[in-house]
């Protein structure tokens, strides 16, 4: 089945493509930004750098790869539904950990709460997308 054919039979043919483009760009920009600009970003936030910056690079690279995954969904949603499912897990874990650390008073910075709220928005969208896709497959 080609992308042109599936675009007419899945929600990806509608505003969902834009949604996944935004999700992709969000994580790609965050990943690249924190990978290359962690020093000025942490300084601006008043966060001390860890004694080993590999923690920042590993996390930033992972966020970048997640963004690439959402780019694949943007490009061909029917072929990449598994990435959406993984995105649900990723967004749930990040937001859950951020809220946990906020609750125990150990969240690194309030900016990470903003990222967690954004991830909850993407999480809700991912779930709605999969439900709509599932409903269309059952009806089709």
Q: Is residue 7 in a domain? A: no
Domain that holds residue 34: 14-133
* CA 38/CA 25 separation, integer angstroms: 18
The confidence score (pLDDT) of residue 105 equals 98
Residue 8 predicted with pLDDT over 60: no
Q: What is the value of pTM for the model shown? A: 0.88
**pLDDT over 70, % of the chain:** 90
CA distance 13 to 18: 10
List, for residues 52-93, the tens digit of each pLDDT value.
999 999 999 999 999 999 999 999 999 999 999 999 999 999
User: Does residue 3 lie within any of the structural domains?
Assistant: no
Which tens digit of pLDDT belongs to each residue from 122-133?
999 999 999 999
> Would you say residue 140 lies in a domain?
no
Task: Look at the alpha carbons of 32, 35, 37, 43 in this order and tell me if their dihedral is positive or negative.
Answer: positive
Residue 112 within any structural domain of the chain: yes
| Residue 3: pLDDT band with limits 50, 70, 90 | very low
At 14, is the pLDDT very low, low, confident or very high (cuts 50, 70, 90)?
confident
Residue 4 belongs to some domain of the structure: no
Please indicate, yes or no, if residue 55 is contained in any of the structural domains: yes
Write down the pLDDT at residue 139: 74
Share the mean pLDDT of the chain. 91
pLDDT higher than threshold 60 for residue 10: no
Q: Is 8 domain-assigned?
A: no
Say if residues 115 and 98 touch (Cβ distance below 8 Å): yes
Position 35 in a domain = yes
- Judge contact between 101 and 107, C-beta under 8 A: yes
Number of domains in the chain: 1
Residue 136: pLDDT band (50, 70, 90) is confident
| Gap between the Cα atoms of 90 and 94, Å rounded | 6
């Amino acid at each position: 089945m080609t992308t042109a054919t599936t675009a007419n039979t899945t929600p990806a043919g509608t505003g969902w493509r834009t949604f996944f483009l935004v999700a992709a760009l969000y994580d790609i920009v965050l990943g690249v930004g924190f990978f290359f600009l962690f020093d000025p970003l942490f300084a601006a936030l008043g966060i001390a750098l860890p004694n080993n910056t590999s923690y920042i690079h590993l996390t930033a690279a992972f966020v970048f790869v997640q963004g690439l995954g959402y780019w694949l969904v943007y490009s061909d949603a029917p072929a990449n539904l598994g990435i959406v499912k993984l995105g649900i897990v990723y967004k749930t874990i990040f937001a859950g950990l951020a809220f946990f650390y906020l609750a125990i008073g150990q969240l690194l910075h309030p900016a990470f709460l903003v990222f967690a709220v954004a991830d909850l928005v993407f999480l809700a969208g991912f779930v709605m997308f999969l439900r709509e896709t599932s409903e269309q497959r059952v009806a089709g």
